């Protein structure tokens, strides 16, 4: 039978998106455009239309374009979950969590600028590794699992009525923020450092945000100190449960607290803390020993007597917060303590 000459030059019928995905699943390997033409038995004149279909599926996250012209399904690649660290070139590094199967974490994965999928610094992400890089190398972010930054310091660029446009103080964040001021709120000055809570995306590079604080111009020591705390995620406010547990404690040792202890309050203990110190947590006393020599006593505040873990008859909020903080954070003009003032001061 002769071919109908009227069909010559017409593009061949392309597979539906679902059929194309089934082809990738059946092949179980990344493929180039020429490989797909051969597997699907399409003529080369279909190459442009097939490429458009592949790019459309990639925009939907159903396919991934790999280096070297390869295409693959995300689920066919090895994926890891890890912390994204942004780089100033727009890309980043993913530090994978420890693999429970072999007890060790893969090497850091480099994410090119075009493969971040909108991830921010400190986000927890799921990333796919480029084939051939089982222990590290290059990959791409598939999805953001959790935003790492709950608060973002930013500068006010301009104000229109009750709306602000703010740019992150950290240039590695690839977005700007639109902030609606509360009614009757005093607007921050242009250039002021503000603290924002990201709310939702408005566009690829624009998020809505809520104003949390106005620090003013950042050329003062106090504002610089606040900025360091925010950027390094230093703990600040204690959760209400921890404050409530601390407020319920006695203002001083009770008779029950002294049971089983030796009372040494009559000794002339001294501290080496300065006159403006508030956390007197250790003291010393030296006395001669009979027959020669000296006895040095070091008295340490037994704060743990009041910080009880959950399950020992106490709420456990203080213990949980102390574990999360790990230590007190000292700064030139302030300190963010491990425990509330009721326990760390006085």
pLDDT at position 99 is 60
pLDDT at position 301 is 83
Domains in the chain with CATH codes: 14-72 (1.10.10.10), 77-146 (2.40.50.140), 152-231 (2.40.50.140), 240-344 (no CATH)
CA atoms within 13 A on the CB side of 261: 13
What are 186-196's pLDDT values in tens digits? 889 998 999 99
pLDDT at position 290 is 94
| Residue numbers of the chain with a pLDDT score lower than 70 | 1-13, 98-106, 132-136, 311-315, 346
pLDDT at position 6 is 43
3-state class (DSSP) for residue 38? helix
3-state class (DSSP) for residue 308? coil
> What tokens appear for 267 in the block?
């000794």
What is the C-alpha to C-alpha distance for residues 38 and 204, in angstroms, rounded to an integer?
A: 37
pLDDT at position 10 is 42
pLDDT at position 106 is 57
Q: Is 285 left (phi over 0), alpha (psi -120 to 50) or beta?
A: beta
pLDDT at position 5 is 47
pLDDT at position 100 is 52
pLDDT at position 154 is 94
pLDDT at position 8 is 47
> What tokens appear for 86 in the block?
């942004």
In the chain, the largest separation of any two C-alpha atoms, in whole Å, equals: 123
């Amino acid at each position: 039978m002769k071919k109908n000459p009227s069909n010559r030059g017409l593009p061949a019928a392309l597979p539906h998106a679902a059929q194309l995905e089934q082809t990738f699943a059946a092949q179980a390997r990344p493929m180039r455009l020429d490989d797909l033409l051969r597997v699907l038995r399409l003529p080369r004149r279909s190459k442009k239309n097939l490429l458009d279909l592949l790019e459309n599926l990639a925009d939907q996250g159903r396919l991934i374009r790999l280096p070297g012209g390869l295409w693959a399904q995300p689920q066919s690649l090895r994926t890891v979950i890890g912390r994204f660290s942004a780089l100033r070139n727009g890309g980043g590094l993913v530090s994978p969590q420890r693999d429970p199967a072999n007890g060790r974490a893969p090497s850091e994965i480099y994410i090119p600028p075009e493969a971040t999928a909108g991830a921010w610094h400190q986000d927890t992400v799921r990333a796919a590794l480029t084939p051939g890089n089982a222990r590290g190398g290059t990959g791409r972010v598939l999805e953001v699992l959790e935003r790492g930054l709950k608060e973002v310091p930013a500068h006010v660029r301009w104000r229109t009525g009750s709306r602000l446009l703010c740019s992150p103080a950290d240039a590695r964040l690839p977005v700007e923020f639109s902030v609606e001021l509360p009614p009757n709120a005093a607007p921050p000055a242009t250039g002021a450092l503000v603290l924002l809570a990201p709310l939702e995306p408005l566009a690829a590079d624009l998020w809505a945000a809520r104003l949390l604080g106005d620090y003013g111009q950042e050329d003062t020591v106090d504002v610089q100190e606040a900025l360091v705390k925010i950027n390094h995620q230093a703990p600040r406010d204690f959760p209400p449960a921890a404050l409530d547990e601390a407020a319920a404690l006695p203002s001083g040792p009770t008779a029950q607290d002294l049971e089983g202890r030796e009372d040494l309050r009559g000794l002339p203990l001294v501290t080496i803390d300065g006159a403006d110190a508030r956390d007197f947590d250790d003291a010393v006393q030296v006395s001669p020993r009979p027959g020669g020599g000296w006895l040095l006593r070091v008295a340490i505040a037994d704060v743990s007597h009041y910080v009880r873990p959950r399950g020992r008859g106490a709420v456990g909020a203080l213990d949980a917060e102390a574990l999360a903080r790990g230590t007190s954070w000292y700064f030139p003009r302030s300190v963010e303590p491990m425990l509330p003032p009721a326990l760390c001061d006085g």
